[in-house]
Structure 1
Amino acid sequence: MRDFVMTSTSLTEGHPDKLSDSISDAIVDAYLLRDQDARVSAECAVASGVVFLSVHVASEASVDLSQITRDVIAEAGYEDTDFSPDKVAILSSVSPHRRTSQAIGSQIESLNATVFGYACRHTPEMMPLPIALAHRLARRLSYVRREDERFAALHPDGQVQVAVRYGDRQPQRLETVMVFSALKTGERFAPVAEADVRSAVVAPVLAELDLPSADASIAVSLEKAETSGGPTWHGGLTGRKNQVDSYGGYCRHGGAALSGKDPWRIDRLGAYAARYAAKNIVASGLATECEVQLSYTMGKRMPLSVEIDSYNSGAKPDDVIADALSEIIDFSPAGLMERFKLAQVPAERGGRFFQDLAVFGHFGRTDLDLPWEHTDLAEQLRSA
């Protein structure tokens, strides 16, 4: 695939799926803050007036699931008639998590997943342009809603879609931008014009875009929340927006959800490791774009294969780069946890880490210090 149009989507924190992800990851943070050996799987579903929680946990730590849920809903900005922090009904089920037979810190062998990571030179954050641009616009939409009184009527449930035309796998021009937000209603909310959203949200982001965009189709859609936004209009589930969380559909991903799982889960840990490997390959100058595939299977602590695809952009053959990668990085779960320190991060950062990943993507984040975004192995890869 060399010449094509790629469309990617980003969501604000009040989208029901992202709200579910945020609640699930806030639960993971809460357990790891109190117990770094906790094993957690937290699933969430939101609907009109109700939140359902299914949590499997192996830990002696005590966590107030209801309070966490209400805090996340409040932070997202919900004050709907039937969905607000003080009115929503919370139904939860907590069950024992089946630990692996080995101790948490050992070389876990009960794992099975194929994961992918990607990096390229299309943006400073080494992400595909469509998803990077969609996240910038969604973050800007969220910012003006919170910080500018003129946009107080914007609902927490928002969405941005971006289409970019590629030629020979390089971004050529911006095709379309679509910004959607539900609107709160009531006398205390001043009307919001679509032209104002275009001026305050879209224009500042596109002004920084080094790509032809004058002919791009730009649309803003604002509709009443009762008919178009929030859990009253559409339900939410943890892990339903994998493309938003990863690379916007530009490349492959493992398929499994990232949010709501403790970092020992190989589908989450491995996805971070694959991104780390791909980004360091691109940062080293060994390729201008790179996809890394790690294949794990039951009974083996190391991946059966470490494969890369440089899309013919590599300075060396792909198998040579893959061999160097395998020599430098210990891709076992224990090795990756030792490198990233993910079980300790929530406590080191005041009890909050994974929740911040639930919105605006897990990769390419310039607003967060993420260990898998570091390029500390670039020089070592060049030497190898």
Structure 2
Amino acid sequence: MKRIITVESVTEGHPDKLADLISDSVLDECLAQDKRSRVACEVMLTKGKVLIAGEITTTAKVNYIEVAKATIREVGYETEDIDFECRIHTQSPDIKHGVDNPLEIRNKENTIEKDIYDMLGAGDQGIVYGYAVNETQNLMPLCVNMANAITERLTFWRKNKTVKGLMPDGKSQVSLSYDGDQLSGIVSIIVSTQHIAETDLNELREQIKSRLINDVFPEYDLSRTEILINTAGSFICGGFDADTGLTGRKTQVDTYGGIARFGGGAFSGKDPSKVDRSGAYMARYIARQVVTKGFAAACEIAISYAIGKAQPTALDVVVFGECKLSVAQIKQYIIENFDLRPAAIIATLDLYNQKYKPTAAGGHFGRPGFFWET
């Protein structure tokens, strides 16, 4: 069967990604001072305005507005003419009670036996997914790697002034054609990058085509590939001057490009007690083990949780391509080798000692330096 797979990526200067970066910068500041911080930080950016909101319970002393300003400047935007507003309050006492006194503990109130990993309930109900495929060395879909490589190179060029006049906002999109499971060609490559007004657009297009694209795709024949660069023309007004940014709005970019499923909750700005984040990291970690061990060519793990309950409510496995084990055998392997309770996930992946800001741009999976990618 012939099919075309398309994946997009965005740079750190895209308004949605900038919102993610600020949310995770706030999270990192809280966890640096108080490992047990409960953080659910959301950011909205629009022309002339930054709103930091959410629920944070912590002993940490954090100036949220200064964290936001520093992050915005680090990405490459000015902050002088921006109005900052902070609307942070503490976590709901009902949610806190359910997380700190899970159903398993409440059911054992009259017994001595208590498991330490039963003592943290899921911060919300939800379904999380993890995926891995043997198509690439980092076990990510090839199309995801390609789209991310373009935006990473755009950011590298801008910060190192390899190409003068580049600004922080940018996007990429790659379409690959497959005949069955075999790659048959690159259908199209799309790049959009913000630039200063003085930039010669034709010269910029030529540099991106002849240098950046050839650097990212050196081993591929692009003679029949449609290459489109800044198709709308000039891209001078960008970032949150041009488009509103929101935390958690780029979930496909954060995960598997739509090739595999992803959960209903986003990642950035959430502490590890939120299974939207920690559960998805664990699901990816398990999917990696399944594929690395050769049990399946590709694997998707689904885990579901109930708020205030430590044990997950369901585990599902989907495999693709050649498999050495049945789904039932893989499920049994997971049950025997991985503890899916939030506290156990946090311990296994050392999530209280991770830095989350680096995850916010470039994808949460397939990149070195993250414990769930080992």
TM-score (norm. length: structure 2): 0.89
Q: Shift of the alpha carbon at 1:190?
A: 7.4
Structure 1 match to 2:244: 235
Q: 1:313 aligns with which of 309, 316, 322?
A: 322
Structure 2 match to 1:169: 181
In 2, distance between residues paired with 1:292 and 1:172?
28
Q: Shift of the alpha carbon at 1:55?
A: 2.9
Structure 2 alignment gaps of length 5 or more: 102-116
Does residue 121 in structure 1 map to residue 134 in structure 2?
yes
Q: Shift of the alpha carbon at 1:240?
A: 0.5
Does residue 59 in structure 1 map to residue 58 in structure 2?
yes
Percent identical residues? 31
Distance 1:334 1:254, change over 3 A: same
Structure 1 match to 2:3: 4
In 1, distance between residues paired with 2:100 and 2:311?
17
* Structure 2 SS opposite 1:10: strand
In 2, distance between residues paired with 1:55 and 1:18?
17
Q: Which amino acid aligns with 1:204?
A: D
Does residue 338 in structure 1 map to residue 338 in structure 2?
no
* Structure 2 SS opposite 1:214: coil
Residues 50-101 of structure 1, C-alpha deviations (whole Å, 9 max, x = no match): 11110311112110111111111111112xxxxx123322111111112522
* Structure 1 SS opposite 2:188: strand
Q: 1:49 touches 1:87 (CA, 8 Å); kept in 2?
A: yes
Distance 1:355 1:110, change over 3 A: closer
Does residue 92 in structure 1 map to residue 101 in structure 2?
no
Deviates further, 157-166 or 60-69: 60-69
* Structure 1 SS opposite 2:53: strand
Q: Superposition pairs for residues 216-365 of structure 1, below 5 Å?
A: 216-221=225-230, 223-227=233-237, 229-298=238-307, 300-345=309-354, 353-365=355-367
TM-score (norm. length: structure 1): 0.87
In 2, distance between residues paired with 1:69 and 1:221?
29
In 1, distance between residues paired with 2:33 and 2:308?
30
Q: 1:3 touches 1:168 (CA, 8 Å); kept in 2?
A: yes
Q: 1:226 touches 1:233 (CA, 8 Å); kept in 2?
A: no
Residues 256-276 of structure 1, C-alpha deviations (whole Å, 9 max, x = no match): 111111111011111101100
In 2, distance between residues paired with 1:296 and 1:230?
36
Structure 1 residue runs of 4 or more that deviate by more than 3 Å after TM superposition: 102-105, 189-192, 211-214, 222-227
Q: Shift of the alpha carbon at 1:137?
A: 1.0
Q: 1:143 aligns with which of 150, 156, 159?
A: 156
Q: 1:70 touches 1:86 (CA, 8 Å); kept in 2?
A: no
In 2, distance between residues paired with 1:50 and 1:298?
34
Distance 1:13 1:298, change over 3 A: closer
In 2, distance between residues paired with 1:29 and 1:291?
29
Structure 2 match to 1:81: none
* Structure 2 SS opposite 1:313: strand
Distance 1:354 1:295, change over 3 A: same
Structure 1 alignment gaps of length 5 or more: 79-83, 346-352, 375-384
Q: 2:121 touches 2:307 (CA, 8 Å); kept in 1?
A: no
Distance 1:66 1:24, change over 3 A: same
Structure 1 match to 2:106: none
Matched residue count: 353
Distance 1:343 1:201, change over 3 A: same
In 2, distance between residues paired with 1:109 and 1:261?
13
Structure 2 match to 1:24: 23
Deviates further, 86-95 or 191-200: 191-200
Q: Which amino acid aligns with 1:62?
A: K
Deviates further, 251-260 or 299-308: 299-308
In 2, distance between residues paired with 1:298 and 1:24?
23
Q: Shift of the alpha carbon at 1:319?
A: 1.3
Deviates further, 316-325 or 301-310: 301-310
Q: 2:122 touches 2:273 (CA, 8 Å); kept in 1?
A: no
Distance 1:75 1:109, change over 3 A: closer
Residues 207-259 of structure 1, C-alpha deviations (whole Å, 9 max, x = no match): 1x4x55432111211744445x2212111100001000000010111121111
Q: 1:118 touches 1:292 (CA, 8 Å); kept in 2?
A: yes
In 2, distance between residues paired with 1:273 and 1:299?
19
Q: Shift of the alpha carbon at 1:110?
A: 5.3
Structure 1 match to 2:212: 201
Distance 1:85 1:173, change over 3 A: same
Residues 121-165 of structure 1, C-alpha deviations (whole Å, 9 max, x = no match): 11111111111110011101111111134x231110000000011
Q: Which amino acid aligns with 2:96?
A: T
Q: Superposition pairs for residues 62-81 of structure 1, below 5 Å?
A: 62-78=61-77
Structure 1 match to 2:373: 373
Q: 1:55 touches 1:92 (CA, 8 Å); kept in 2?
A: no
Q: 1:122 touches 1:171 (CA, 8 Å); kept in 2?
A: no
